[in-house]
Amino acid sequence: MTTPLNELTATEIVAAINAGRTTCEAVARACLERITAREPQVQAWQYLNPDQVIEQARALDQSGRRGPLTGVPIGVKDIIDTCDMPTEYGSPIYEGHQPSSDAACVALSRKAGGIVMGKTVTTEFANVHPGKTRNPLDPARTPGGSSSGSGAAVGDYMVPLAIGTQTTGSTTRPASFCGVVGYRPTWGDLRTARVMESSGSLDTLGILARSIEDIALYRDVLLGVEPVPIPDNVPAPRIGFCRTHVWPRLEPATQKLLEDAAQRLARAGATVEEVTLPADFEGLEAAHRWISGFEFARNFTWEIENRWGELSETLRNGRLKDGLACSYEDYASMRELVARCRHLLAPIIGNYDILLAASAAGEAPLGLNSTVHPWVYMIWTTMHVPSVTLPVFKGPHGMPIGAQLIARRSDDRRLFAAARWVYQRLAS
């Protein structure tokens, strides 16, 4: 094969194995070789056992069993339980912790023939205190968090797929910074059993990949349904260009990239209109902060009471401080605001196939000490709508910046079709 095996997408790997052009073991070895060469610089992995990986691959080859993900190497964020690998949640409190069973998403991945390569680095409890991972395109820059290892591993061609999570922007941000496709599903669609809960009102799984086709395939696997291909020859989408109230906080280069993209898509045949959100949406930044903080602080009562000194100062003075200071009355009031905004959004977004918005304020910043820009992503996360981030822009320093596309609740498949149409016109 002309393309190195570690650079194939998941759908390409499955097709090659089914056609007899390669084997599960050969793909796994190619990914392990890439990891060996690049891990000292990128540091995407919290746990990796090459012998364990080869054992999985050989078992698949010998069985002859075929599934929608047969032979596809997958990185799993280290807040997601694995029965045969430690799960440490990005915290020294859980060093060496070994769950007794797989999370639902891991079990579904294995059932479909996927190879669990290892555990990817997460920030502490999927919050803001960074892990060791570097941006694969520039090790002096952050990869974004909290799914930092997942984004970096996919962006550096170590694996074609990785599972992340998102409570604020934990999949969208590393996708934008590492130049990959990132997907946050409609809230509640993908099971989070045995995935560490941060804020149950907001948490979802996330998928990081190098193609929109892989995202669609893996979503169906994690839904436990027969995969449905993205339809061909879809009409030009109706696009709402949504600057949102955070537009002035975006870097000027990002603003221009988005404006130029809207114009290019219109010239390509899409219907593109400016969309303004109601004033109530300006309160969502505070609402997300207090809702996520209130729920997070209750979820981590044991750690607060018993291991306070082992929590980072960043966490103690951030989300935990917010959560412990938030009254139930304020929490309930913020939930009412969020519910009102969801109601207001429905007829607005219903006029379009997708909304076009920012994925990040700009390129990945220099330094590793911040997961940055939470206000860019939290609107759409809080609204429970699906979104895809596409690697279609380059910033002033040549680093990637994503374009975020958003669709109506439960319209994820339409989102994928529109995203492919957009990608084909912006990535060239």
Active-site residue (options: 91, 170, 359, 387): 170
Q: How many beta carbons lie within 10 A of that of residue 351, not counting itself?
A: 12
User: Is 256 labeled as catalytic in the residue annotation?
Assistant: no
User: Is 101 labeled as catalytic in the residue annotation?
Assistant: no
- Token pair for residue 74? 């997958």
Output b/e per residue, 171-208; b: 16+ Cβ within 10 A.
bbbbbbbbbbbbbbbbbebbbbebbbbbbebbbbbbbb
- Token pair for residue 322? 């917010």
How far is 130 from 122, CA to CA, in rounded Å? Answer: 8
Active-site residue (options: 77, 119, 198, 292): 77
* Placement of tokens 């390509």 in the chain: 268
Question: Does residue 72 sit in helix, strand or coil?
Answer: coil
How far is 21 from 252, CA to CA, in rounded Å? Answer: 47
User: Is 170 labeled as catalytic in the residue annotation?
Assistant: yes
- The CB-based long-range contact list for 255-264 (8 Å cut-off, 24+ gap) reads 257/393, 257/395, 257/401, 257/403, 258/356, 258/357, 258/358, 258/403, 261/356, 261/392, 261/393, 261/403, 261/426, 262/356, 264/425, 264/426
CA angle 300, 301, 306 (to 5 degrees): 105
Output b/e per residue, 62-79; b: 16+ Cβ within 10 A.
eeeeebbbbbbbbbbbbb
How far is 87 from 391, CA to CA, in rounded Å? Answer: 30
How far is 298 from 277, CA to CA, in rounded Å? Answer: 32
How far is 329 from 348, CA to CA, in rounded Å? Answer: 29
End-to-end CA distance of the chain: 24
Active-site residue (options: 91, 109, 146, 148): 146
Residue 207 near residue 386, CB atoms below 8 Å? no
- Token pair for residue 357? 């918005």
- Would you please indicate which residues are annotated as catalytic (active-site) residues? 77, 146, 170
